[in-house]
Amino acid sequence: MPPRTPRRRDLSLLLPARTTRAALLGSLAALAACQAPAGRPTPHVDDDEKSDKGKAKPRAKVDAKAAKAAKTDKTQKPAEYDGGLGRPVASLAGETHLKNIRQLTFGGENAEAYFSFDEQQLILQSTRDGASCDQIYSMSLAQKVAEPVVTRVSSGKGRTTCAYWLPDSARVLYASTHAAADDCLPPPDRSHGYVWKLYPEFDIYTAAPDGGDIKPLVQGPGYDAEATISPLGDAIVFTSTRDGDPEIYRMNIDGSGLKRLTNARGYDGGPFFSADGSKIIYRANHPEGEDELSKYEAIQKDHLVFPTRLELFIMDADGANQRQLTRNGKANFAPYFHPDGTRVIFSSNLKAPRGRNFDLYMLELPAPGEEAGEPEQITFNETFDGFPMFTRDGKRLVFASNRGNAKEGDTNVFLAEWVD
């Protein structure tokens, strides 16, 4: 993820009418390399655009009653602290799948919070403590305080991103550039437009939750990041440019048995396993046509990719049977399987005029050979909701959002009960 100063760039076209430039930079601060490498997902995609085949893009499925309520009431009623974990926050109008929402972080840029295997801890990334770029922190969910304490896991040097728990919940993995430089490295070259940079200095490390015993896991030439672990605890998937193109790779939990899973021209990343470990969901930007391909190749040498269109894909855990799920031309990212294996929750600017805000959506997985239907809108925030992750029983959901901020532009972590 980029340092705060380089993020101060002109993205005003992507803001809701009453949202300031600073607010966008904070509200989309969550988008790290795991889900939006080296930049926030602010792709400018107009709602009135047509697909490449000339067909109108699909509209998201949403309950009419809930949508009407969401339009008329976007406020959150503050609640008194009740002695539990974090502070209670009311759900927004129309958010019928969420209840008992708890805010776990307060101020700054906090995102990509993921449960440990025993679901007693979170790992997240944040720019707190005066850091110029994101560092990795752990949080115990046993705390009964209004503002839970976090412990820094990363070294405090370089850029860090994409943290995840190892199966024993006693170690975490994350990507970092600290071996190459103590600072945050220069921001991407914006002369090409809005781009992400896949820093080749990123390698993957493991560490204890208290920040001790940092050890390299994946090193070598090229970008290595976006790592997640199978719920079975036997495999790791991650994105790498070791072979030139950003592709998804799989290896055993000890780092052996490396295998490349994707082989399409363009960017493939943000992979997550299904609950039974049999499938992988991911997002991709594959150039379409000679013009897009030439533009992609022109910036790839500088370790850059365009994020203006991200579609969701699914494949078997061994890389077989790859197929595209979404075809809406929007920025669809941060997909995560529901534990029942039949649905995927993700973040998208699907319904946003000119791509200005991101909400959570749920998509029913189609049978092989069939096309996916319209997703159901889950959140109704006016700026950003993203990075959802379910507990193993599907009863709780953690996500990042800028709802209810004390300071405009903050992104915080929230925990909610899920209602089917």
pLDDT digits 0-9 by tens, 32-65: 446 543 334 443 333 333 334 344 444 445 455 5
Q: What's the sign of the alpha-carbon dihedral 303, 306, 310, 313?
A: negative
Instruction: Output the six-digit token pair for 42.
Output: 């602010």
Of the candidates 181, 126, 118, 130, the one whose C-alpha atom is nearest the C-alpha of residue 154 is 126
Largest CA distance in the chain: 59
More confident residue, 74 or 377: 377
User: In the beta sheet, which residues pair with residue 358?
Assistant: 384
Tens digit of each residue's pLDDT (9 = 90 or more) over 382-413: 989 999 999 999 999 999 999 988 888 899 99
Average pLDDT, the chain: 85
CA angle centred on 398, ends 15 and 157, rounded to 5°: 75
More confident residue, 5 or 316: 316
Total H helices, total E strands in the chain: 4, 27
| Least trusted range by pLDDT, from 63-72, 194-203, 318-327 | 63-72
pTM beyond 0.95: the answer is: no
Tens digit of each residue's pLDDT (9 = 90 or more) over 68-81: 444 444 445 457 89
Q: What residue ranges define each of the domains in the chain, with the CATH number in brackets?
A: 4-418 (2.120.10.30)
List, edge to edge, every strand of the sheet that includes 323-324: 267-273, 279-285, 311-316, 323-324
The number of beta carbons lying within 10 Å of the beta carbon of residue 46 is: 12
d(CA 333, CA 352): 15
